[in-house]
Amino acid sequence: MWKLKNLFLISIFGALSTPGIAQEREVLEVFVSPYNVTIDSGVSKPMAVRVLYSDGYEMYPQGVTWHSSNPEVSPISENGVVFGVKSGLTLISATYKGVNSSQPATVKVGEAVIDEITVEFPHRNMVVGESQQAQAQATYSDGSQQDVTSSVQWQVVNSSKELTVSEDGVVTAHEEGYGLLIARADGVRSQEIRIDVSEGQSEFQWVMPFPSSTTMAVGSQFTPSIRGLHNSGSIMDINEIDGWVIDNPSIVRATPDNQAITAVGKGTAIVYPIAAGLQSIEPVTVTVE
C-alpha cells in the first residue's frame, strides 16, 4: 500500500514538471490607449493597456508599470490615471512583464479646442412668418461634447430676405425661397443646412425618398420613389420632383428636368429630393463606383 501511494505522488509531480504543461504565454506587444489625449489643467483621465500574446490572445492586464516623459506637465499614477498639472506635452508609456509599449500615447495639457460643430434643425421646410429654434453641438479635441447654441456665430448664406437667424439660433422665414444655415466658432464651420420657405402650407406634411441608399456607375441615372404624408392622413406617391439638395456635386448632379440625378464621379454623395414644395426629411446616400 505504501509503495502504491508513493508511486501515485511521484506520477503527479512528474506530470507537473513535464516541459510545456505550465508554460506562460509570451508577451508580443504592449499597447497604450487612448493614443491622443487632450485635458485641461486639474483634470484627470484613466489610461489603459492592451497586451497581445504570441498565440493571438489579447487582454487588459493588471500589474502594469507606467511612465510619464514629463511628469511636471502630466504625471501618471500607479493605476494608470494621468493628471493635468500645467500646459504642455508629455508621452505616456507602459511596461508589462519586461515588455515596453510599442508606441507611447501623447497627452496634451491645455484648453481643449473645437474639432467639429453639428447643427440640428427640426424642420427643413418653413412657411413665411414661422420661427424655429436651431441647436449647435460642439465636439472638442478631448472627445467631450457641449451645447454651444448660445455661443456660436449663426449665419444664413444665399439668403438676404428669405431667412434671418438671431444670435441665439432662432430662424425666422420672411419670403418664399431658401437659405443655408451654418454656425461658426473658433475658426470651425459647421456643414450647411438648407431650409426652404414657402408662402403657405403644403398639402403634404412631409416627403420621403425610397430607397434610402443606392449604388451607381459613372454615367448612369437614378430616380428615387417619393412618398409623402398628405394632410388627409394618407400616404401618397408623388411623381414630380421639383429639385435636389446635393452635398457633393462632383459626384452626382441633377438632370436638367430635375427628375433624376446623374453620376459624374466616383465617391459618396448625400442628396435630398424636393417634391410638393418640401425637402425630404431623410436623404438618399449615393455611392458611385
Domains of the chain from N-terminus onward: 25-109 (2.60.40.10), 114-198 (2.60.40.1080), 204-288 (2.60.40.1080)
Please tell me the total number of residues recorded for the chain in this structure. Answer: 289
Long-range contacts of 61-65 (CB under 8 A, 24+ apart): 61/96, 63/96, 64/94, 64/95, 64/96, 65/94, 65/95, 65/96
Whether the per-residue pLDDT at 114 is higher than 70: the answer is yes
Give the pLDDT score at 159: 64
Q: What is the mean pLDDT of residues 111-137?
A: 87
Give the pLDDT score at 80: 94
Q: pTM for the whole thing?
A: 0.51
Name the nearest CA neighbour of 195 among 179, 174, 183, 206.
179
Q: What is the mean pLDDT of residues 109-123?
A: 85
Whether the per-residue pLDDT at 287 is higher than 60: the answer is yes
% of residues, the chain, pLDDT over 70: 91
Highest mean pLDDT among 2-6, 134-138, 145-149: 134-138
**Would you call 157 helix, strand, or coil by DSSP?**
strand
Whether the per-residue pLDDT at 14 is higher than 60: the answer is no
Weakest-pLDDT range from 52-56, 73-77, 279-283: 52-56
Q: Where are the alpha helices (DSSP H) in the chain?
A: 2-16
